[in-house]
Amino acid sequence: MSRRPFQVVQVSELDAVPVTDTLVWRPVRRTLGVEAFGINAYTAANAGDELVEEHDETGSGAGRHEELYVVLAGRAIFTLGGEEVDASAGTLVFIGDQTVRRAARAAEAGSTVLAIGGRAGEPYEVSPWEYYFAAIPAANAGDWERAADIVAEGLLRYGENPSLLYNLGCYEARAGRRDAALEHVRLALELDPDFRRYAVDDEDLESIRGDLDLGG
């Protein structure tokens, strides 16, 4: 079936996926089927809520993108490499350096930020994090099998990506896929030992933690 030649949607009509207690992801790219570039939105119910989680574009879950943030509504306080920027509606914030740490919080209830990204000079590839963000609704519903299957789709594209492997292992452990969970979490820890600090008290791994080497 071919895609419609155009689509029109309000940000408020997109699924609201709670990534943390205060960070709400609106899956623009997945909903519309955008393939040329990365694009997503984040909304805040209250002032002080997280709009952009603190990150850079160098981690295993990142797409290594240049990023443009557009404040669609309200006001956002960005922190960019330690520098604070007060961004009202209509403000564009462009970050071309992958290593810059960035984050933003809502200064007003109802604030909305649109994030657009891609690698300079390269065809667009979906960022690994999008697969485990997309699995959150299934996980919140207790459908661990479905959550694991969504993350596993990312491995078909990225192979042995530590962020995907770790999240897949977490959901497999919850789903009772013990052997697969151990295999994937162990490989994630081998590829990126930083995940050990999450694994030591991650509730998702309670059933397999005793069989993981979390020392050092």
pLDDT (tens digit per residue) in 133-156: 999 999 999 999 999 999 999 999
Going by pLDDT thresholds of 50, 70 and 90, the confidence category of residue 33 is very high
Instruction: Summarize the confidence of residues 75-103 as an average pLDDT.
Output: 97
Going by pLDDT thresholds of 50, 70 and 90, the confidence category of residue 61 is confident
Instruction: Summarize the confidence of residues 42-69 as an average pLDDT.
Output: 92
Show the domains of the chain with their CATH numbers. Answer: 11-118 (2.60.120.10), 129-200 (1.25.40.10)
Percent of the chain scoring above 70 in pLDDT: 98
Whether pLDDT at 2 is above 90: no
Residues 129, 163: contact at Cβ < 8 Å?
Answer: yes
Instruction: Summarize the confidence of residues 111-138 as an average pLDDT.
Output: 93
Read off the pTM.
0.83
Number of residues that this document lists for the chain: 216
Q: Which two tokens stand for residue 20?
A: 């943390």
Average pLDDT taken over every residue of the chain: 93
